[in-house]
Structure 1
Amino acid sequence: MRRLIPLALPLALAGLVLAGCAVTAQPVASATQTAAASSVETRVQTTSDIDSTIPAAAAELLAANADGTVVNDDEWSIADAETITLSGSTASSDSAAVTVDGSTVTITAAGVYQLSGTLDGNVVVAAPDDAQVILVLDDATIASTSGSAIQVVTADDVAINLAAGTTNAVTAASSADADASAAIYADSDLTVSGSGALTVTDTGNDGISATDDLAIIGGTITVDAADDALRGKDSLMVEDGTLTLTAGGDALKSDQTDDATQGYVWIAGGTITATAVDDGIDAWTDALITGGTVSLTTEDDGIHSETALAISGGDVTIGQSYEGLESGDIRIAGGTTSVTSSDDGINASGGTTTDSGSGGGMGGGMQDTGETLTISGGTLVVDADGDGLDSNGSITMTGGEVTVYGPTAQNNGALDSNGGIDVSGGTLVAIGSTGMAESPDETSAQGWLAATASGSAGSTVQITDAAGTVIAEYTATKTFGSVVFTSSAITDGQTYTVTVDGAATSVTAGVAAAGGMGMGGGGMGGGRP
């Protein structure tokens, strides 16, 4: 059963209450280190801390996830830092907690450490299990040809701070079977912060990886990884920063499979541009976007989660994907989302094995298997070659503004549900092919209309009432033969006109168009009597 404790508090979310949890440091080599370590606190939050401006659709998912850990920049001082000077194949430091063995620098105690210079080797953190370690990269370049360039072997919480005005680089060729399979690898919680720049390259595996929580709260970060760019096994949270990610696997990933309260990805802020061979965002449990600007180009799913996916804020653009959004429980509650896909735009399915849209229209069968797509707010635009909005279960819309373009093939539909489409609010237009066209349920509280009306890319689609008043107007992006529209301006039983490039089609609200799938989860026809 999920604990009602959400992830560590994002600073960008206003109105939250911080609960600092002081950490007792292990004995270290100097009084300066002791003072620095004891001043570091982790941030946690309880259910009462969730920002009331986050829509309930996302807030309840956050509340059901385990707490996370973030080390904040104002919880330590650079004045307490011990200096480590990197010098080619070696390094030097006056700190008793730093040992240098050839090209390997090892930090053995809690504290703040400032690294500058160039090292052809490895930086290893092997501190006590309850230690807090801050690594300040101050124009530091670390390149490893064997394993991780920065590796946390033991510690409780580690932060990598990017000093203001600095440019830093970490490069590795970590192999797939190495214990530390990333250029920056932490067997602990890991926070990346600051306002400097960091370039991470790993030609063998992941870019930045943590076995516990990974939090990005600042910095200009560029990652180019053979596999996943960012991976937090227990959780991955981005609160701030400018991230440019290139991944041979997933761009942002959390894959804890042993705890239903972990394995989630939360984007609360920042600017993310990601290109991935697999998924843009891949979460074993929940994927949540409550803020920030996210741009994803992927060969597989734009955003994939095994449990739930919620977008309640921010600006999300999926410029290329196989399927745009995929999960068993998809919630669009705010923000601005644009999806382009070669198959389904939005796919509410129980996982990749039950994809109802792959390979042509009828995929997973016509039975309602319980998945949900719920739209309660925000703006959503979908341009799909497969189904536009697809659910193996139901589609429910209570608010928001949705525009669906496509598909053009007759074995897919702009709207496709197994359990019916219920609309009680918001505005939706679906401009697609006729073969599998589906309309909202006849029991929907809000009026809707469906028309067999054809056009091509660039065609103007206009909807007017009996008095000739224009209710809505759209410009098609591809060839189409069906138009479905619902808004508060439509009244059941009334006559409306759908005009495409001057050609008018008269329709009665609540009556399914001829030749399509009709209403209510793929039923063949019908309509209101």
Structure 2
Amino acid sequence: MKNKKLQNFVLPMACTLFLFACSKDGGNNSQNSNTSSFSDINVSEYISENINYDEEDFVTNWEEEDPIYITLAGNEISYDESAAVMTSGSTVTIRSGGVYVLKGNLDDGQIVVDAPDTGKVQLVLNGVDINNSKSSAIFIKEAEDTVITVAEGTENHVSDGKTYTEDDGSGEPNAAIFSKDDLTINGTGILEVDGNYDNGIGSKDDLRIMGGTIKVTAVDDAILGRDLVAIKNGTFDINAGGDGIKSTNTNEEKGMIAIENGTFSITSGTDGIQAESSLYIAEGTFHLTSGGGSPETIEVNQEMMGGQPWGDSEAEETEAADTASTKGLKANVDIAIGGGKFELDTLDDAIHSDANIIIMNGEFSILTGDDGVHAENELLIANGSIHVNKSYEGIEGKTVIINDGDISVVTADDGINVSDGSSASVGPGEGMEMESAGNALLTINGGNVYVDAGGDGLDANGSIVITGGTTIVSGPTDAGNGALDYDGTLNISGGTLITSGSSGMAQTTSDTSEQNSIMMTYSETQKAGTLIHLEDSDGNTIATIKPEKDYQTVVISTPEIVKNNTYVLYSGGSSTKVESNGISTLNYEKGEKIVEFIVADTVTYVNESGISEAPTNNMGRPGSNDGQGQRGTPPTGNFDGGQGRGSTGSSSQ
């Protein structure tokens, strides 16, 4: 096997690093670092610069390479007797470098490459059907470099048996195509692999796939590379009892998956694409179903608030460790996505990293039984279209930064959740815990963000910063949650924020904000679909919104809300155009005038009688948090304040 030069490439993410190290060059060991800015990462260029290929990885022509032809006919094998080929029964062993063209059917046999230090071995599959009932059908035992070329215009089938009687004592080989050294698959033909024993295609070192149509069915993992899986292009149809595509080396400088392009249809019993270290995707089309897909209904743990367990957390962690992982895109270190189209239907998290996630662009349609996008540490969304259409929680991380994009989440529990576990109990009470603010931070700098939450809409075990964009929160309807839930501060300096939901845990923006806000609390719950319209005294529209759920509290913050100006709030009426996030953009027909008021403070509290004091929610905290958040057992009883429209008397000030 050729020597390798190890290179480290760092992708900074706030105070943490993406670590990237993959090469395929001969030479002495060396280390180089390459840094780029947090918001200026071209994932495609990054992969192409740092995943190195040898010239032979691209070579698919073979007719002019003085090839050795091997013809398979049942259990009979014919070839040029002068070639470095040995046969024993129906086993073909290739002993030297060169180009070997295989054609025909091998009913119960094996192709073995055992050619140490003799140059590249290129196996050309030129229309083969190779089956082995006792071990791998193709076994690269030892070679400096092996390339399997799937010949243009051919269909090829490789399969193993359900039980192995031959291995080297270490449980290997364990795949229909198995390599102990580096393996490259190229060509434009069709390769169909049945891994009836364990895995489909497996390499103990690097696995590179350059193109072709690859169809894999496997009892366990379909495509497996220990140190690296690098896919340049291709069409993949994968059905796996375990993971679809997987790397296994726990060394953070290895165990990577890098995908530059391709079309992927993956149905997996566990994870769809799982990198033991980091996962990089530049482009591609991905249809992933993991663990049978998302459940029809998602049960919400009523003992969970703000992402913090109220039960036995140690028992819950043990239970989670014993449960098979059924995620869509998963990495134990980092995930970087430059673009592509993703349809993810998963039992567990759709996109999950034990460290950091960066999404530069892409189109995402997500159905999941748990989180849509989950980073244990940092999460950056620079752009893209991300639609989490079903989830337990939508977007989660210790730090979440949204710079741009079209983002919507529909959740059974919290919509966007930031938590770092740093909150501390500051005062026990009967059925209630007081918590100081943690260090988690949600930052929204731009884009269109829509949250339809069954639990808290924007939930921060720490603080929230909004500098731009349009953020709309619809829900929750129960008084045990709030459209906004933060323990530190919510400072807004730009953009539009509109929330509607229950009043029991309602909060608004902090009075330290640069941008003004109003918080309207109705005496009774308003019906879903009842328009909310705010305009200034000259009749200029500030905001018109059509909530999809019942609501009792509304928060509106826009740059057009100016101190010492007069505003009028209307309820009901109609609009000829309502956007998907509930914003009305055309021809509002006025409903009932509810209240007229003057904005005198950074946060103005309003009810149907006019200016009011800051309301106190069910947890004893005011609508604008003072930095000492409180969490406790949700109150019992009728949380929504009754049903139907309440008194709508108006006053002016």
**How far did 1:73 drift?**
11
Match of 1:76 in 2: 58
Equivalent residue for 1:209, pick from 246, 250, 260: 246
For the Cα contact (< 8 Å) 2:122–2:149, is it kept in 1?
A: no
Distance 1:459 1:479 in 2: 9
Q: Structure 1 residues 20 and 72 mapped into 2: Cα distance closer, same or farther (>3 Å)? A: same
What's the TM-score, normalizing by structure 1? 0.78
Equivalent runs, 1:15-164 vs 2, <5 Å: 23-24=25-26, 46-48=34-36, 56=38, 58-59=39-40, 69-70=50-51, 76-79=58-61, 83=101, 87=105, 89-90=108-109, 97=121, 102=132, 103-107=136-140, 108-115=143-150, 116-121=155-160, 122-127=176-181, 131=182, 133-136=184-187, 138-154=189-205, 157-163=206-212
Q: Structure 1 residues 385 and 61 mapped into 2: Cα distance closer, same or farther (>3 Å)? A: farther
**How far did 1:136 drift?**
4.2
**How far did 1:160 drift?**
1.5
**How far did 1:92 drift?**
5.9
For the Cα contact (< 8 Å) 2:184–2:210, is it kept in 1?
A: no
**Secondary structure of 2:61's aligned partner:** helix
Q: Structure 1 residues 143 and 68 mapped into 2: Cα distance closer, same or farther (>3 Å)? A: farther
Q: Structure 1 residues 296 and 363 mapped into 2: Cα distance closer, same or farther (>3 Å)? A: farther
For the Cα contact (< 8 Å) 1:68–1:213, is it kept in 2?
A: no
Distance 1:25 1:158 in 2: 20
Deviation digits for residues 463-495 of structure 1, max 9, x if unmatched? 111222111212211111111111111113433
**How far did 1:90 drift?**
4.6
Gaps of 5+ in 1: 8-18, 27-43, 51-55, 175-181, 256-262, 357-361, 525-529
**Secondary structure of 2:192's aligned partner:** strand
Distance 2:101 2:285 in 1: 27
For the Cα contact (< 8 Å) 1:6–1:66, is it kept in 2?
A: no
Equivalent runs, 1:265-304 vs 2, <5 Å: 265-304=335-374
Deviation digits for residues 206-260 of structure 1, max 9, x if unmatched? 11101311122222111111111100111111211111001111111001xxxxx
Q: Give the stretch that moved more between structures: 70-79 or 448-457.
A: 70-79
**Secondary structure of 2:210's aligned partner:** strand
Match of 1:12 in 2: none
2:459 corresponds to which letter in structure 1? D
**Secondary structure of 1:296's aligned partner:** strand
Equivalent residue for 1:252, pick from 317, 324, 329: 329
1:331 corresponds to which letter in structure 2? I
Please say which structure displays the higher CA radius of gyration. 2
Distance 2:122 2:54 in 1: 22
Equivalent runs, 1:448-459 vs 2, <5 Å: 448-453=517-522, 455-459=526-530
For the Cα contact (< 8 Å) 2:131–2:158, is it kept in 1?
A: no
Distance 1:142 1:66 in 2: 28
**Secondary structure of 1:439's aligned partner:** coil
**Secondary structure of 1:47's aligned partner:** coil
**How far did 1:23 drift?**
1.0
For the Cα contact (< 8 Å) 1:71–1:159, is it kept in 2?
A: no
Q: Give the stretch that moved more between structures: 71-80 or 332-341.
A: 71-80
Match of 2:633 in 1: none
**How far did 1:505 drift?**
2.8
Is it true that 1:495 corresponds to 2:566 in the alignment? yes
Distance 2:207 2:190 in 1: 19
Q: Structure 1 residues 83 and 395 mapped into 2: Cα distance closer, same or farther (>3 Å)? A: farther
Q: Structure 1 residues 136 and 90 mapped into 2: Cα distance closer, same or farther (>3 Å)? A: farther
Equivalent runs, 1:72-471 vs 2, <5 Å: 76-79=58-61, 83=101, 87=105, 89-90=108-109, 97=121, 102=132, 103-107=136-140, 108-115=143-150, 116-121=155-160, 122-127=176-181, 131=182, 133-136=184-187, 138-154=189-205, 157-163=206-212, 167-174=213-220, 182-194=221-233, 196-203=234-241, 205-211=242-248, 212-248=255-291, 249-255=326-332, 263-350=333-420, 365-453=434-522, 455-471=526-542
Q: Structure 1 residues 317 and 150 mapped into 2: Cα distance closer, same or farther (>3 Å)? A: same
For the Cα contact (< 8 Å) 1:466–1:496, is it kept in 2?
A: yes
Match of 1:511 in 2: 604
**How far did 1:158 drift?**
2.4
For the Cα contact (< 8 Å) 2:423–2:437, is it kept in 1?
A: no
Pairs aligned (count) = 455
Distance 1:354 1:227 in 2: 33
What's the TM-score, normalizing by structure 2? 0.64
For the Cα contact (< 8 Å) 1:387–1:412, is it kept in 2?
A: yes
Q: Cα RMSD over matched residues?
A: 3.5
Distance 1:22 1:233 in 2: 19
Match of 2:625 in 1: 520
Q: Structure 1 residues 436 and 374 mapped into 2: Cα distance closer, same or farther (>3 Å)? A: same
**Secondary structure of 1:291's aligned partner:** coil
For the Cα contact (< 8 Å) 1:137–1:160, is it kept in 2?
A: no
For the Cα contact (< 8 Å) 1:82–1:114, is it kept in 2?
A: no
**How far did 1:512 drift?**
3.0
For the Cα contact (< 8 Å) 1:451–1:505, is it kept in 2?
A: no
Distance 1:224 1:209 in 2: 13
Q: Structure 1 residues 325 and 71 mapped into 2: Cα distance closer, same or farther (>3 Å)? A: same
For the Cα contact (< 8 Å) 1:98–1:106, is it kept in 2?
A: no
Distance 2:193 2:538 in 1: 71
1:207 corresponds to which letter in structure 2? G
For the Cα contact (< 8 Å) 2:489–2:510, is it kept in 1?
A: yes
For the Cα contact (< 8 Å) 2:9–2:33, is it kept in 1?
A: no
Distance 1:391 1:282 in 2: 19
Q: Structure 1 residues 68 and 6 mapped into 2: Cα distance closer, same or farther (>3 Å)? A: farther
For the Cα contact (< 8 Å) 1:69–1:189, is it kept in 2?
A: no
